[in-house]
Amino acid sequence: MIHVNADAPVAWMQRSVGWPRARGYARLSGIIFLVFISLPSVASALPSFNDVKSNYQSSDAVLLDRHGTVIHELRRDMIGRRLEWTGIDRISPALLRAVVHSEDKRFYQHAGVDWMAIGSAAAKGVVSRSPRGASTITMQLASILNKDLRPKQRKRSYAQKWNQISAARDLEKGWSKNEIFEAYLNLITFRGELQGVSAAARGLFDKDPHGLDAAEAFILAALIRAPNAPVADVVRRAALLAAEGAPLQDHTIRATAEKALTGVYHVRQRIAYAPHVAHAVLKKGIAVSGSTLDADLQQFTLESLRHQVGLVRAQNVTDGAVLVVENKTGDILAYVGNIGSSSPAPFVDGVEARRQAGSTLKPFLYGLAFEKKILTPASLLHDSPLDIPTEQGIYKPENYEHDFKGLVSARTALASSLNIPAVRVIGLAGSDDFIEKLRELGFEQLEADDFYGPSAALGSVDVSLRELVNAYRTLANGGIRSPLQLLPGQTKKKGRPVFSADTAFLISDILSDRQARSLTFGLENPLATRFWSAVKTGTSKDMRDNWCIGYSARYTVGVWVGNFSGRPMWNVSGITGAAPVWLEIMNRLQNNRPGTPPRRPESVVSQRIEFGDDIEVPRFELFNKGTEPLTLVARSSEARPGILYPAEGSIIAIDPDIPDDHQRIFFEAGVADGRLHWMLNGEYWGEARADAVWRPQQGRYILALADENNVVVDSVRFEVRGGK
């Protein structure tokens, strides 16, 4: 690489001057000089080199990661195409030679004005018709820096020419030759909208300026005088320059020019790892912005997602999205909206797109039930066929594996993601209250409370990956919710509690329980990490969306896999779709560090429990203090203490033709057990006997079946209409 020193003329520059021929114009040059100096000078002060360089603005805005590393380049100026400022030591020597040879052969000998060239031009009578014939690189740069020096129409007046000469002489007094040449090559237009040597090199040849060869250099030099000239004219001029300088075969120049100048040029992005963040952050007028992203993690996350989507592409999977956040600060460390250029919808942001949540909302439903003290992790739920009347007909929830497990604890039901127990839980906790809890967690654009009904327990709610990740982060932070952030230095907003620390701890403990998860997923799966982590998968109806969301002590990671078109996947579950990506990223984040589980709140107690008839193995279970059972949690799987009548959602009409005293309905349980009792709208009603008869009255009711510790084992909602 050549370094041109302004104080030491270069030999190849001297050889290109042509001194003998120049002496013939010496006397004429002197006359021209006297004519010009007789004109008044109105040249205004020109900026310094440092001012020009510091005020230079690329047409691309730059997004930086948390360490100051460039993570994405985004074009923001659609008029001109300017890339980064390029130092003269990073420009090909071939191009430096070609430009000097083409534009200003005595650039390193004169003081801004080439009087010999002016004399030559005057002798040929072309000064007024072709003023650039005598314009030095310094004079051209002066005109770029001062718009008053540019031709008003097609040519400059003599006064303008003199002002240009004066400005060039002043420029040479304050700038070095290298600074002048460097600024010139960064500010001139080469072709179309391509301004500056970096844009020209990358746009036409897909190279950095230091990598230009001789043919490319002569083509760029030929473009300076006529940026939009036809290809044939550019080839002819480049060949003439090559013949005078470093001879090249004409066909080499022609082939290079035709490839570069025909068709549409393209400036390829060199760094493009966070397009959706860049579009959100780099708004109009912002040239450089920092972010909370980590460039290495962002790149790793993108590659991991691409690899996994490629593995399941044969199962009709085309895209995915990932969000990684730091629990304590809410900083977003990786934000991948889709798999990039190979995505069928590369502009869609999968982090913000709204999709059905599947089973990923179940932890918040069970958290609501724990919060209300309706359930404990040891409460038994029926995993058995269930028919629920709705306005659209009978709703029959099914488990993912289309089987039934019988009586299971709430811990097992949640960890193993059983559907029917979750529907029973929403009947206990109330779908309206559940939707309101989701709003508190930050889920936006939810429908009215009564829109979803019991199907909300299985994820019929449309959510975004961003909302899900921050909701799980809320559990990781002990039930305290605070916003996520992409920009560094923002004032941290104070979080607010959505769940109690007790509830958040219980849910986290269940989601980290490998044994409780094994009923559905087995012991060995991508959810079983070597460090403490709590995780949940989810698959929406017809396998349209596949999720895996989980957290360690420091990080929360959310992954979505599917199709932006909404097409179903083929036999893809959370374990085979999203979970492998989640595991790779979590392993990268932990870096072989043993994640520590959250500290147990003092108000959470541990007690050994046993389940009758071997429903589940004996264990030490966790409870909110005061909810721990005094006896066995359950007795017999044959004696199923569920409500048989009325059915969930029943509407009972009072017949006006029957006397009120004769209108009765029976509350029927799966077993008549004196140790169970009925609760109607939260009030004790009576023992769960076989002859439990109730006189109906107009209104809406929640009928619950509770044990001797007031732990609800089943509940239904029904309505009575008619009457007075």
List the one residue out of 370, 295, 253 whose CA is nearest residue 64: 295
Q: What is the pLDDT, as a whole number, of residue 351?
A: 97
Given 261, 283, 300, which residue is the final one in a domain?
Answer: 261
Q: Could you give phi then psi for residue 20, rounded to 5 degrees?
A: -55, -45
**Per-position DSSP letters for 466-502, written without gaps between them:** HHHHHHHHHHHTTTEE---BSSTTPPPPPPEESS-HH
Q: Could you give phi then psi for residue 353, rounded to 5 degrees?
A: -65, 145
Question: Do 49 and 175 share a domain, yes or no?
Answer: yes
Q: Which residue has the tokens 């006529």?
A: 226
- Residue 455, domain member (yes or no): yes
- Residue 278, domain member (yes or no): no
Q: What is the pLDDT, as a whole number, of residue 545?
A: 92
Which range among 23-37, 516-530, 626-640 shows the weakest confidence by mean pLDDT? 23-37
With left for phi above 0 and alpha for psi between -120 and 50, is residue 209 left, alpha or beta? alpha
454 HSE (CA, 13 A, CB side): 27
Please state, as a whole number, how many other Cβ atoms lie within 10 Å of the Cβ of residue 482.
18
Mean pLDDT of the chain: 84
Please state, as a whole number, how many other Cβ atoms lie within 10 Å of the Cβ of residue 485.
19
Query: What is the mean predicted confidence (pLDDT) over 659-669?
Result: 77
- Residue 2, domain member (yes or no): no
Question: Do 143 and 224 share a domain, yes or no?
Answer: yes
Please state, in angstroms and rounded to a whole number, the distance separating the CA atoms of residues 218 and 197.
13
Question: Do 453 and 374 share a domain, yes or no?
Answer: yes
261 HSE (CA, 13 A, CB side): 23
The residue type of 228 is N
- 454: domain CATH number is 3.40.710.10
Query: pLDDT-derived band of residue 682, with 50, 70 and 90 as boundaries?
Result: confident
* Distance, first Cα to last Cα, the chain: 99
- Residue 80, domain member (yes or no): no
- Residue 317, domain member (yes or no): no
Q: What is the pLDDT, as a whole number, of residue 490?
A: 79
Question: Do 423 and 493 share a domain, yes or no?
Answer: yes
- Residue 481, domain member (yes or no): yes
Q: Which has more pLDDT, 635 or 576?
A: 576
- Residue 215 in contact with residue 248, Cβ under 8 Å? yes
Question: Do 533 and 409 share a domain, yes or no?
Answer: yes
Question: Do 119 and 52 share a domain, yes or no?
Answer: yes
Given 261, 296, 318, which residue is the final one in a domain?
Answer: 261
Q: What is the pLDDT, as a whole number, of residue 219?
A: 95
Total number of domains constituting the chain: 3
- 117: domain CATH number is 1.10.3810.10
- Residue 241, domain member (yes or no): yes
pLDDT tops 50 at residue 483: yes
Task: Identify which of 94-98, 451-455, 681-685 has the greatest average pLDDT.
Answer: 94-98
**Per-position DSSP letters for 163-227, written without gaps between them:** HHHHHHHHHHHHS-HHHHHHHHHHHSEEETTEESHHHHHHHHHSS-GGG--HHHHHHHHHHHH-T
Question: Do 255 and 174 share a domain, yes or no?
Answer: yes
Segment 240-287, tens digit of pLDDT: 888 876 667 778 899 999 999 987 888 888 889 999 999 999 877 788
- Residue 26 burial class via C-beta count within 10 angstroms: exposed 0-12, middle 13-18, buried 19 and up: exposed
Q: Does residue 47 sit in helix, strand or coil? A: coil
Please state, in angstroms and rounded to a whole number, the distance separating the CA atoms of residues 266 and 608.
69
Cα–chain center distance at 281: 11
Please state, in angstroms and rounded to a whole number, the distance separating the CA atoms of residues 248 and 250.
6
- Residue 202 burial class via C-beta count within 10 angstroms: exposed 0-12, middle 13-18, buried 19 and up: buried
Write out the residue range of the structural domain in which residue 657 sits: 643-721
- 714: domain CATH number is 2.60.40
pLDDT tops 60 at residue 1: no
Question: Do 573 and 696 share a domain, yes or no?
Answer: no
Q: Could you give phi then psi for residue 4, rounded to 5 degrees?
A: -90, 120
The residue type of 412 is T
pLDDT tops 90 at residue 98: yes
Question: Do 579 and 647 share a domain, yes or no?
Answer: no
Which range among 212-216, 438-442, 704-708, 719-723 shows the weakest confidence by mean pLDDT? 719-723
Query: What is the mean predicted confidence (pLDDT) over 491-517?
Result: 94
Please state, in angstroms and rounded to a whole number, the distance separating the CA atoms of residues 461 and 296.
34
Please state, as a whole number, how many other Cβ atoms lie within 10 Å of the Cβ of residue 58.
22
Q: What is the pLDDT, as a whole number, of residue 21?
A: 43
Angle at 335 (CA atoms; ends 466, 550), nearest 5 degrees: 55
Please state, in angstroms and rounded to a whole number, the distance separating the CA atoms of residues 345 and 561.
14
- Residue 618 burial class via C-beta count within 10 angstroms: exposed 0-12, middle 13-18, buried 19 and up: exposed
- Residue 275, domain member (yes or no): no
DSSP state of 597: P
Q: What is the pLDDT, as a whole number, of residue 242?
A: 86
Q: What is the pLDDT, as a whole number, of residue 44?
A: 52
Please state, in angstroms and rounded to a whole number, the distance separating the CA atoms of residues 486 and 281.
8
Q: What percent of the chain shows pLDDT beyond 90?
A: 50
Query: What is the mean predicted confidence (pLDDT) over 373-388?
Result: 84
Given 566, 590, 614, which residue is the final one in a domain?
Answer: 590
- Residue 533 in contact with residue 556, Cβ under 8 Å? no
Q: What is the pLDDT, as a whole number, of residue 334?
A: 98
Question: Do 413 and 543 share a domain, yes or no?
Answer: yes
Q: What is the pLDDT, as a whole number, of residue 148?
A: 80
Question: Do 580 and 647 share a domain, yes or no?
Answer: no
Question: Do 241 and 121 share a domain, yes or no?
Answer: yes
Task: Identify which of 103-107, 498-502, 513-517, 617-621 has the greatest average pLDDT.
Answer: 498-502
